[in-house]
């Protein structure tokens, strides 16, 4: 398995502000993913973050709203910009390792926007 | 078109009984993987079990087993000897190998285990 930590674990933010979420993995991984889970919903992929290249965003998500950094093979950040109450969600970092079954998730960041 | 379908929004099971959570999928990719995750109220996603499309045998992990019926495109999770701690949301997910490495999730099933 992989040990993945996320900071912060939860936060309450004012609308119009930005929050940066950090994801740290205990070993090097090529692929890191950021997912969003809105209240009572399933998980939706925001973007794929590969080290050394621009993040790839899914339909409906844009870099200006969710800028991502991937400075090395163990770390990534996701920023939620200009927040509105609709951004209230759990944000989860996920990593893919070599084996086909090896896809693990961090503990999540529970964000509430007021 | 929805790729992963979980038709049971909620399920109840008595402690020590077995329960089956349904999952059907749709893909034209011959190479794919199917996952089940457990999400307790804390929000973390806990990996339970994986089945590859070319795997000959159904996957098992302790009390979890996956009833993989390829022709029917179903990958049901069976939890044996349910425990109170099994109460959680359960998500089925699929990765299509030739398209991308992303996981596509179903809508989830909330399982409640009662004494």
pLDDT higher than 60, residue B99: no
Mean local confidence (pLDDT), B20-41: 94
pLDDT higher than 90, residue A30: no
Name which of B9, B44, B52, B90 to mutate to probe chain A: the one with the most chain A Cβ atoms within 10 A of its Cβ: B44
Chain B positions in Cβ-Cβ contact with residue A105 (cut-off 8 Å): 37, 44-47
Residue carrying the six token digits 């993913």: A33
pLDDT higher than 90, residue A24: yes
Chain B, 33 to 92: residues with Cβ < 8 Å from chain A are 33, 35, 37, 42-47, 50, 52, 91
Q: What is the 3-state secondary structure (H, E, C) of A51-68?
A: CCCCCEECCCCCCCCCCE
Q: Give the confidence band of B96 by pLDDT, cuts at 50, 70, 90.
A: confident
Mean local confidence (pLDDT), B72-88: 97
Name the more confident of A104 and A52.
A104
Q: Which of A44, A103, A107 sits opposite B44 (nearest CB)?
A: A107
Identify the CA nearest to A50 among candidates A67, A70, A65.
Answer: A70
The residues, any chain, with a CB within 8 Å of residue B56's CB and separated by 6 or more, are none
Chain A positions in Cβ-Cβ contact with residue B45 (cut-off 8 Å): 43, 92, 94, 105, 108
Chain A positions in Cβ-Cβ contact with residue B106 (cut-off 8 Å): 42
């Amino acid at each position: 398995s992989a040990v993945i930590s996320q900071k912060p674990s939860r936060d309450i933010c004012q609308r119009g502000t930005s929050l940066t979420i950090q994801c740290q993995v205990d070993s090097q991984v090529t692929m890191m993913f950021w997912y969003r889970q809105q209240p009572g919903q399933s998980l939706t992929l925001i973007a794929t973050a590969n080290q050394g290249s621009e993040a790839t965003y899914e339909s409906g998500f844009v870099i200006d709203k969710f800028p991502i950094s991937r400075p090395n093979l163990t770390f990534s950040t996701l920023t939620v910009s200009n927040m509105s109450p609709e951004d209230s969600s759990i944000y989860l970092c996920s990593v893919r390792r070599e084996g086909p079954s090896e896809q693990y998730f961090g503990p999540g960041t529970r964000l509430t926007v007021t | 078109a929805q790729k992963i379908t979980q038709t049971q929004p909620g399920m109840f099971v008595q402690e020590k009984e077995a329960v089956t959570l349904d999952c059907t999928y749709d893909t034209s990719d011959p190479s794919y993987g199917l996952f089940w995750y457990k999400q307790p109220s804390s929000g973390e996603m806990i990996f339970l079990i994986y089945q590859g499309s070319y795997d000959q045998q159904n996957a098992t992990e302790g009390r979890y087993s996956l009833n993989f019926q390829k022709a029917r495109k179903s990958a049901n999770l069976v939890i044996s000897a349910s425990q109170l701690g099994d109460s959680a949301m359960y998500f089925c997910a699929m990765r299509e190998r030739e398209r991308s490495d992303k996981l596509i999730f179903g809508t989830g099933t909330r399982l409640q285990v009662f004494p």
